Structure 1
């Protein structure tokens, strides 16, 4: 294995491995450094295996409601929790092997160990045997990702107070669980465990669950989760978790006063923090701010020859953001013409609970606060033939346009498979498509996606199906 490269990437998540592949495609000799498994947290412990868990939960829900579809299932259905976990891990393992194949296909050297950047465009890698080896590159890309945020009131012990990795590998389904935080991680695991029979309580510090979403989306998800039996406490703060007994006793300040909750397991899902400690930033002179590496629009750090992408930088902590940043960073390094900075206001956000959530652009409140006069349209899936036929009438599509010029300011979906629909709006906004043009774009019937056109018709006072 060589010791000198054009590009070395530290970390092989959806930012790191994409950067390595694009660099190799552009003719650069490339290496990637990874201390665990190729694919990083997203592929091994996040995006992919959680979706496998959610699919198992959805199948179980289908079986429990088979009579609604005219199908009789003999006997009691039961979720084999161990088998569900095993399937999820198998999906993750197969995807990691896929990344291994891509590394070989693109002739990228994979270096196992802990990477630490050093002055002079060098990276020191310490292997499992404790031996350190130094490598040099013209360009070094830091893609070290993030990890679960630790809360002072709920220190993670890996047994009773756990984070997402442990939540994916529990040997036994807990009878009860308190989830701290209602972002994507919190509500996705809430659905998985509640659907399989766990009594779930969510405690959220902000006024609404899924607090980054449009307020109408938050209210709709809250309604659905309460119907499932999930207890929700918003405007609430966990002040203590006592693990001295058999289970956990959680103390929280709520609008109704101090409350205590008993549970077998507490899942801390209060966001992520960047992995930037002990990777050589100080020695290399790379600037940080509020726990993130500082970069320009092309991911150059304050030290020439060093770059940073993904969750360790200021952008949204999303896999597709890391991948987009990776390509922009590498193409700028390669000197390709017309490389555009990423528009962080046109990044789709997807949450894979049931019903799913997908959004892009301004929320209604943010658009009004920005001074826009709006045209807002909503179309409920109760009026969608495809949704009714699928037995999934929950949720709606909400679209937001600038009343003056028709600019597509934002869209907010909640319902079955809406994460597969949001890309239409992302592309439309990228192409500066107006509301009038959406009205004239023929959408296929019957589909869930035609609700985008139906909602646009509602925004323009032309609703046909409402």
Structure 2
């Protein structure tokens, strides 16, 4: 029986462990923080739980239009919300732990390092060190928030996204530094929860790496809801300060000398891979200049028998991609059928309000590569179900191959866009044509009807 050692119990690690156990391997998983890793305990699960509270308040704010009389202003009790966040994270971690146990996976609480031979892992636990000989090793150690010398988090006023859940009072003024996915999500969330928010963006718009139409719409929504968005503004430093009257707070100084004062500051400056002190270089595992593990499409590293998955690889830093990389790694290692990771068919979602969901090739990629394509874009404001629900912000956009009519990408901006994108994802992954999508029945009225209508507009008469 093959023995597999997995370092890291996040989505890449625990999904890999379940696949390996199902394929008959003897599996040992080493995790420092608990089943699910930081994704479940301090990152993705907590953030989306907090966002759920924010989304509910956003819906309540617009309820008068639908004939609902809310007798007083609805506000979030952030202490109660954060208690729920952490309780749910612990429950999810426990569920994962039970699945692993039921599958026969040995879980060790501790840290792991790769032996110089690459064929063993040294596990360090409270009981001491243990050498685990393995026919295959998976490194799935994730990443952690990037910080800089001039902006050191203190866990009270200057915070990373892993430290937000200790707040007991809603910030009087939250300054978010960084307008990528994490910064935009939390800026949207705290704006919805009722905090005044300033979003500091070093680029010309929020979400600079996303679909331009979607990013422009989200920035318009942010400003309309009272958020201050500072474009072309790069942070130089963040410091704790005492304001007039003795109020505790923070000051963000920009590179052009301007300052922004607030009660709290969230640093959303990107992620750093957890690849130090794992023995990777000593074993010959190749890392890139930023410290990410270099892998191929089946998650192999440069060392035979050693695989890597998740954020430590820097390959589309999404929980769903981490899980898929882990599954692929174990299938390849243990001789099962393998479908290599195809990044052109990955779907993702940004949990702002409204959400932005994308799949397949982007418009920028299509234009930069000179790929002939057709595009159709429909505003949700014209959708009958959206009108009934009071939804004005959002759209559906589809891209199809000009020569074949096959759906090659799409963008959905809408409440619950993460659910609506699935039909587009199926179309992209299965190489369906726009006529296939258009001919499938949709419910009337429904938001998904806009996907079918966009496909109909891309029909080319024979």
| Alpha-carbon distance in structure 1 between the residues aligned to 2:84 and 2:299 | 37
Alpha-carbon offset, residue 258 of structure 1: 4.2
What is the aligned residue count? 454
Gap runs ≥5 in structure 1: none
- Judge conservation of contact 2:77–2:170 (CA < 8 Å) in 1: no
| Alpha-carbon distance in structure 1 between the residues aligned to 2:413 and 2:60 | 23
Partner of 2:309: 309
What RMSD in Å do the two structures reach over aligned CA positions? 1.8
Q: Assess, with a 3 A threshold, how the Cα gap between structure 1 residues 154 and 122 changes in structure 2: closer, same or farther.
A: same
Alpha-carbon offset, residue 268 of structure 1: 0.8
Are 2:48 and 1:55 equivalent residues in the alignment?
no
1:149-168: CA deviations, max 9, x gaps? 11344232323221111113
| Alpha-carbon distance in structure 2 between the residues aligned to 1:34 and 1:58 | 33
Aligned equivalent of 1:45, options 42, 45, 55: 42
Gap runs ≥5 in structure 2: 243-247
Partner of 1:127: 125
Partner of 2:355: 356
Question: Aligned to 1:9, what secondary structure does the other structure show?
Answer: strand
| Alpha-carbon distance in structure 2 between the residues aligned to 1:460 and 1:204 | 40
- Judge conservation of contact 2:408–2:431 (CA < 8 Å) in 1: no
After TM superposition, list the pairs within 5 Å mapping 1:377-388 onto structure 2. Answer: 377-388=376-387
Are 2:452 and 1:450 equivalent residues in the alignment?
no
- Judge conservation of contact 1:377–1:457 (CA < 8 Å) in 2: no
**Relative to structure 2, which stretch is displaced further, 150-159 or 169-178?**
150-159
- Judge conservation of contact 2:350–2:357 (CA < 8 Å) in 1: yes
| Alpha-carbon distance in structure 2 between the residues aligned to 1:113 and 1:461 | 59
| Alpha-carbon distance in structure 2 between the residues aligned to 1:402 and 1:241 | 47
- Judge conservation of contact 1:393–1:415 (CA < 8 Å) in 2: no
Alpha-carbon offset, residue 324 of structure 1: 0.8
Are 2:316 and 1:319 equivalent residues in the alignment?
no
Alpha-carbon offset, residue 56 of structure 1: 1.2
Partner of 1:247: 249
| Alpha-carbon distance in structure 1 between the residues aligned to 2:150 and 2:357 | 31
Alpha-carbon offset, residue 460 of structure 1: 4.4
**Relative to structure 2, which stretch is displaced further, 433-442 or 322-331?**
433-442
Question: Aligned to 1:293, what secondary structure does the other structure show?
Answer: coil
- Judge conservation of contact 2:442–2:449 (CA < 8 Å) in 1: yes
Partner of 2:271: 272
| Alpha-carbon distance in structure 1 between the residues aligned to 2:78 and 2:298 | 45
Normalised by the length of structure 2, the TM-score is 0.94
Question: Aligned to 2:162, what secondary structure does the other structure show?
Answer: helix
Alpha-carbon offset, residue 343 of structure 1: 0.5
- Judge conservation of contact 1:203–1:234 (CA < 8 Å) in 2: yes
Alpha-carbon offset, residue 135 of structure 1: 1.7
Aligned equivalent of 1:139, options 136, 159, 175: 136
- Judge conservation of contact 1:375–1:460 (CA < 8 Å) in 2: no
Moved over 4 A (4+): none
Question: Aligned to 2:71, what secondary structure does the other structure show?
Answer: coil
Normalised by the length of structure 1, the TM-score is 0.93
- Judge conservation of contact 1:242–1:249 (CA < 8 Å) in 2: yes
1:254-290: CA deviations, max 9, x gaps? xxx5421101111111221110011111221211112
Q: Assess, with a 3 A threshold, how the Cα gap between structure 1 residues 236 and 278 changes in structure 2: closer, same or farther.
A: same
Alpha-carbon offset, residue 76 of structure 1: 4.1
